[in-house]
């Protein structure tokens, strides 16, 4: 499944994230890519809200690399912006984290693409202007995504 969504404000991005968060399961990995300020951490806050984690507790783990949260599902929020190589990611055990039985949200995922499962959900954030964003979502074919699509169809251009 590949879809494009338009977000004209932060609340739209959070809505998409909550809709996705409601269908995610332990073992799912969501790979987030996009420029600085594109909305990756905002998206993580929305997924966290869907899991019952207060949005104020979800902050970018740029310095800690990984933050663990406990909600309806165990969540690992990972930010690899500061890592300089895949080897560095391996040294801190990110390969084990993303292959574990928890939900993983990975910011700057393109830096460790080789470590991510082939069937991970990939979301690319494109800054169009001001708060306007295009979210490109790629995911495996899975019945769960029918529920997700029904909740975000109003953000699909022409949808």
pTM recorded for the entire structure: 0.94
Q: Is the dihedral of CA 82, 99, 117, 38 positive or negative?
A: negative
CB distance 73 to 51 below 8 Å: yes
Residue 104, pLDDT > 80, answer yes
Q: According to the model, what pLDDT value does residue 61 have?
A: 87
pLDDT in tens, 62-74: 889 999 999 999 9
Can you name the residues that pair with 122 across neighbouring β-strands? 31, 138
Fold of 2-155: Rossmann fold (3.40.50)
Lowest mean pLDDT among 70-74, 103-107, 149-153: 149-153
Mean pLDDT value across residues 40-55? 96
Cα–Cα distance measured from residue 20 to residue 86, given in angstroms and rounded to the nearest whole number: 27
């Amino acid at each position: 499944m590949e879809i494009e969504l338009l977000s004209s404000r932060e609340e739209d991005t959070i809505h998409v994230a909550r809709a996705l968060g409601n269908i995610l399961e332990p073992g799912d990995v969501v790979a987030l890519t996009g420029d600085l300020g594109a909305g990756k951490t905002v998206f993580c806050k929305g997924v966290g809200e869907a899991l019952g984690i207060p949005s104020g507790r979800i902050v970018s783990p740029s310095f800690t690399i990984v933050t663990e949260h406990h909600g309806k599902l165990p969540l690992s929020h990972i930010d690899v912006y500061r890592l300089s190589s895949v080897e560095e990611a391996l040294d801190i055990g990110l390969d084990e984290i993303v292959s574990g039985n928890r939900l993983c949200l990975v910011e700057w995922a393109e830096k460790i693409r080789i470590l991510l499962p082939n069937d991970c959900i990939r979301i690319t954030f494109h800054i169009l202007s001001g708060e306007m964003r295009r979210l490109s979502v790629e995911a495996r074919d899975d019945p769960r995504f029918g529920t997700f699509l029904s909740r975000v169809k109003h953000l699909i251009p022409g949808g």
